[in-house]
Amino acid sequence: MNNSKSLKEGEEMGKNKAPKNKERRRFLIQMAQNVAIATVGGLVWSAFVDEAKAAPLLLRPPGAKKEKDFISLCIKCGLCVEACPYDTLMLAKPGDNKPIGTPYFIPRDIPCYMCDDIPCVPPCPTGALDIDSVSEVKEGKRVFDITQMRMGVAIVDIKDCIAYWGIQCDACYRACPLLDKAIFMEYRQNERTGKHAKLLPVVDPDYCTGCGLCEHACVTEIAAIKVLPRDVALGKVGSHYVKGWQKSDERRLKGSKGIQTTVTPRSKKSAVESLNEGIDFE
Amino acid sequence: MFLYIAANVWGWKILEGNLSSSKVVDTIPLSDPYAVLQIFAAGSIVGANALIGAFIVTLFYMLIGGRAFCSWVCPVNMVTDLANFIRRKGGFDKVEKKWWASRNIRYWAMGLSFIISFLLGTAAFEIVSPVSMTHRGLVFGMGFGWAAILTIFLFDLFVLKNGWCGHICPLGGFYSLVGRFSLFRVKHNQPNCTLCMKCKEVCPEKEVLFMIGKKSLSVNMGECTLCGRCVEVCDDDALNFSIREFVKKERKK
């Protein structure tokens, strides 16, 4: 009797609990469903965003931070584009295969004319264009230095540059606003004629701002001098090599840990030590 | 809109930029606070102008009414309104197969956008946002942006009523949260209501009108876009714009 009573009670209690449990189950499963849908949607969205970020060959406005930071900061407002008096800058449109809405320019079409007051950088609201990289505050006023900008670097294609054929072109040299600094002429004897010099344009990456006036001026069908993003075109020496004849070059080695070599029984002792082995020094 | 386009085409300095970030009369910055938040999530600290701009915009919408952006500023709204108009004229509601979608999708989308921004280091929603694409496209050049507009138009027309604005757009979700405690509100005067339900027909966010015919309350839910259609459509003067605090004080009296 007791058993059946408690059984019945148990059943009733079970029934009362069941709705609660069912509710809980429903909630949990629905929550899990939402999370799953969110995750799937989120993954697809992320894939798209990740692809959309890639544009290694894009030239950014002056003062732009490194591409990774730039992509993070650019709010795609277009104020820099509107500020440019030469219509150099453009915003990437959907379908351009560039990070959407971000500013860029194509030097072959309209190069950067290196305005002294750099009107494109101050309007940037988020600091994607870093005003401090192209100016400094002297006596309370902001002084712009347009030569500090590093939008890219010009690279000469020596096979397609007619100056390397012997034609004394120098169009890019004369177009360069930092003439003799960013592009200078190297003279080489024209061996074919024996009587002339070749005027070969050479770019110094330390001064080249990447404005693209050279690319715009180049006379060949496809420009033989092109502006490429710095991290694509330039190399880095690293800390293995140093100019021993220049004390200031040692600054480059600061902070490097030195080279770790594998120690073998033979190399345990330094070269000088093994050379001096067996010699009786007085 | 005209001022924005004029800034790009003729260099007028009255209103420059676009809805992501602008400058008014070359001095006052305005920025999309949702975009700024995404940039924070992406791990970058924005410059002063963007911060001030975002602050001003947030303050404005907190006071006036968060989703007023949706009904008065957003360019995509015009597209979805057109779709809705055709729906009404065509009597779609009575014939089509109804898909149910939760109105909370946009909040999930908002949360997702912050997570993705954090993981990928860039403002995730701004990359795909049709709002940004449309406005930027009108000012700077469309490119394939028209495809995004067409997608939303077709979606709202044939798939889900008030689909984009009412269910999916996380910017709308964001402004709903911003406008939770705003001052301007639509107030319902229940004694005047004849239960014609015309207001519910035109409202893009019907759930905010739960009190119609039942109680004299102001529409307090953040989702109300303050578009004013219900006020316009009501023949019985049962719906009007009013100021929230005001209403409270009256009751206390």
* B8 contact A CB<8A: yes
What's the pLDDT at A10? 46
Instruction: Write the residue in B50, B111, B120 that is nearest to A49 by C-beta.
Output: B120
DSSP state of A59: P
- Nearest chain B Cα to A53, which residue? B122
Instruction: Give residue limits of the domains in chain B.
Output: 2-64, 70-177, 183-252
What local confidence, expressed as pLDDT, does residue A88 receive?
A: 92
Chain B residues near residue A93 by CB distance under 8 angstroms: 137, 140-145
CB-nearest to B145 from A37, A93, A99 is: A93
Name the B residues in 118-157 with CB < 8 Å from any A CB.
119-124, 126-128, 132-133, 136-137, 139-145, 147-148
Higher-confidence residue: B23 or A259?
B23
Task: Kindly report the average pLDDT of chain B as a whole number.
Answer: 79
Question: What is the rounded average pLDDT of the residues B162-186?
Answer: 82
Amino acid making up residue A30: Q
Residue A59's CB is within 10 A of a number of other CB atoms, namely: 24
Q: Do the beta carbons of residue B136 and residue B20 sit within 8 Å? A: yes
Per-residue pLDDT reduced to its tens digit, A12-33:
454 555 677 888 888 888 888 8
Return the CATH class of domain B183-252. alpha beta
> Which of A49, A86, A88 would you mutate first to test chain B, the one with the most B CBs within 10 A?
A49
Asked whether the beta carbons of residue A126 and residue B47 sit closer than 8 angstroms, the reply is: yes
Structure tokens at A275: 């050379």
ipTM above 0.85, yes or no: no
Q: Give residue-wise pLDDT tens across range B84-109.
A: 888 878 877 777 677 777 778 888 88
Residues A218-256 have pLDDT tens digits of 999 999 999 999 888 888 888 778 888 888 887 777 766
Q: Which residues contact A176 (CB under 8 A, 6 or more apart)?
A: A182, A183, A213, A214
CB contacts of A72 in chain B (<8 Å) are: 39, 42-44, 121-123
Task: Give whole-number Cα distances, B116 to A34, A126, B111, B231, in Å.
Answer: 17, 20, 9, 40
pLDDT given for residue B251 in this prediction: 46
Neighbours of B227 (CB within 10 A): 20
Coil, helix or strand at residue A128: coil
Chain B residues in contact with A46 (beta carbon < 8 A): 116, 119-120, 124
A123 touches chain B (CB under 8 A): yes
Per-residue pLDDT, A277: 73
**Closest to A93 (Cβ–Cβ): which among B8, B121, B141?**
B141
Return d(Cα B120, Cα B189) in angstroms, integer: 49
How distant is the Cα of A107 from the closest Cα of chain B, in angstroms? Answer: 19
Query: Does position A134 have pLDDT exceeding 50, yes or no?
Result: yes
The yes-or-no verdict on residue A177 having pLDDT over 80 is yes
- According to DSSP H, which parts of B103-144 are helical? 105-120, 124-128, 130-140
Distance from CA of B243 to the nearest CA of A (A): 33
Q: What are phi and psi of A103, to 5 degrees?
A: -80, 145
Chain B residue numbers with beta carbons less than 8 Å from the beta carbon of A90 are 140-141
Minimal Cβ distance to A49: which of B49, B127, B137? B127
Can you give the length of chain B in residues? 253
Smallest CA-to-CA distance from A172 within A136, A224, A121, A135 is with A224
Domain range summary for chain A, segments of one domain joined by + = 25-53, 67-148, 153-233
Chain B residues whose CB is inside 8 A of the A92 CB are: 143
Residue A4 has pLDDT above 60, yes or no: no
Q: Please report which confidence band the pLDDT of residue B249 belongs to, taking 50, 70 and 90 as the band edges.
A: very low
Rounded CA-CA distance B149/B75 in Å is 10
Q: How far is B71 from chain A (nearest CA, A)?
A: 21
Q: What CATH class does A153-233 carry?
A: alpha beta
**A–B: how many Cβ contacts below 8 A?**
146
Question: Predicted confidence band at B222 (pLDDT cuts at 50, 70, 90)?
Answer: confident
* pLDDT (average), residues B152-180: 83
Q: Decide if pLDDT at B215 tops 50.
A: yes
What is the distance between the alpha carbons of residues A158 and A162, in angstroms, rounded to a whole number?
Answer: 8
Which long-range CB contacts under 8 A does B190-195 form with residues at least 24 apart?
B190/B214, B190/B215, B190/B216, B190/B238, B191/B216, B191/B238, B192/B236, B192/B237, B192/B238, B193/B236, B193/B238, B194/B235, B194/B236, B194/B238
pLDDT of residue A227: 93
Closest of B166, B175, B238, B247 to residue B203, by C-alpha: B166
A133 contact B CB<8A: no
CA A140 – CA B86 distance, rounded (Å): 60
Check if the beta carbon of residue A75 is closer than 8 Å to that of residue B20. Answer: yes
Record: contact A42-B112, CB cut-off 8 A: yes
Radius of gyration of chain A, Cα coordinates, nearest whole angstrom: 33
A30-82 pLDDT, tens per residue? 888 888 888 888 888 888 887 777 776 889 999 888 888 888 888 888 888 88
- Asked whether the predicted pLDDT for residue B173 surpasses 80, the reply is yes
Res. A209 pLDDT band, cuts 50 70 90: very high
**Which of A30, A40, A82 to probe the B interface (max B CBs under 10 A)?**
A82
Task: Please tell me which of the candidates B17, B53, B124 has its beta carbon nearest to residue A45.
Answer: B124
Give the CA-trace dihedral at B176, B177, B178, B183, to 10 degrees. 70
- Mean pLDDT calculated for residue range B130-156: 84
